[in-house]
A = this chain, B = another copy of it.
Amino acid sequence: MAVYTDINEVDLKDFLQAYDTGELLSFKGIAEGVENSNFLLHTDRFPLILTLYEKRVDENDLPFYLGLMQHLAERGISCPLPLPRSDGALYGQLCGRPAALISFLEGMWLRKSEARHCRELGVALARMHIAGQDFPLRRENALSLKGWVDLWDKSAARADEVQSGLESEISEELALLEDRWPVDLPEGVIHADLFPDNVFFIGDTLSGVIDFYFACNDFLAYDLAVCLNAWCFEKDRSFNVTKAKALIEGYQSVRPLSAAEIEALPLLARGSALRFFLTRLYDWLTTPEGALVVKKDPLEYLRYLRFHRSVKSAGEYGLS
């Protein structure tokens, strides 16, 4: 559920003065997303999404996120396009928060995705990676190795409260990943959070990708590893190799992976599983009871991490 900040019609109309949107007809808070407050606006010309950036998004990163969306949209990637203000800025201020107007993308995120959707996802991901190659801004991945160490430092002492033995298992995993993490794979702008709720479909056709608020520069293959975790495990937490194969084949139909990327994939998937495990664990330990945000179980990602640890080579992900 995500409307942390309510807005009123007087402040909103004031905010919209700087834009060329036509007459405002309605606005409604949307119960999706967990980082920001989102509203769907109808004007007499088009629907729009209004996003108020809450404290988890650093305002200094907004030029990167919004500029990236503009950059990708100009290169034919279907993603939300920030509407510029009359002064050219891509965001303003509303209710004391940075706020942007972005185009509304039709489409639905799939609660029940299938292998054919994973193939579409792979194609779109590779296209996005290529389109991002000449994006001039940079943003380090705050949730890569160093970020994991920081998160773990804050959670390790209480990890065994969640499951006995966690402290030693995760400490060992982190030490191994620090030791073996790749250093020279192809890099570029990655989405870094491409879960099903950030990918829209109309029928079986991918209609758009949203939520670039974790985008950063990192290994391109790491983004694929995130999708392996986010899309290829079933509700019973078993790995669906048919989905993984479709995802990777779709990706490679646009951007073939190098031998080094293929070799690194199981390790990247371990790292990605650890990343989501650690943020969930931190939230689990620090979110007060009764908060509006539904806490997600970190142990789901512990299970995925263990699966990837058991993988001997990327062939087990369906690569032929």
Contacts and interface: CB of A to CB of B under 8 A. Distances in A.
A157 B110 CA distance: 49
A10 interface: yes
Interface of A: 1-3, 6-10, 23-32, 40, 42, 47, 105-108, 110-112, 200-202, 289-292
A2 to B, nearest CB: 7
18 contacts: A1-B31, A3-B31, A6-B111, A7-B111, A8-B111, A9-B201, A24-B108, A25-B106, A25-B107, A26-B105, A26-B106, A28-B31, A29-B30, A30-B30, A40-B40, A42-B47, A42-B106, A290-B291
Nearest to A31: B29
Contacts of A106: 25-26, 42
Contacts of A47: 42
B26 A28 contact: no
A3 B68 CA distance: 31
B28 A32 contact: yes
Contacts of A291: 290
A92 B142 CA distance: 47
Nearest to A30: B28
A186 to B, nearest CB: 34
Give the 7 A-B CB pairs with smallest separation, nearest first.
Answer: A290-B290, A8-B111, A29-B31, A25-B106, A3-B31, A31-B31, A1-B1
A107 B26 contact: yes
Contacts of A29: 30-32
Tell me the dominant secondary structure on chain A's binding face: loop
Contacts of A108: 9, 24-27
A110 B110 CA distance: 34
Nearest to A25: B106
Contacts of A42: 47, 106
A246 to B, nearest CB: 19
A79 to B, nearest CB: 15
A79 B10 CA distance: 24
Contact of A9 (B25, B105, B112, B290): B112
A7 B31 CA distance: 13
Contacts of A31: 1-3, 28-31
A110 B3 contact: no
A114 to B, nearest CB: 10
Given A1-B31, A289-B289, 9 more contacts: A1-B292, A9-B108, A9-B110, A9-B111, A23-B202, A24-B108, A25-B106, A25-B202, A29-B31
A10 B26 CA distance: 28
Nearest to A41: B108
A2 B292 CA distance: 12
Contact of A200 (B6, B24, B26): B26
Contacts of A10: 111-112
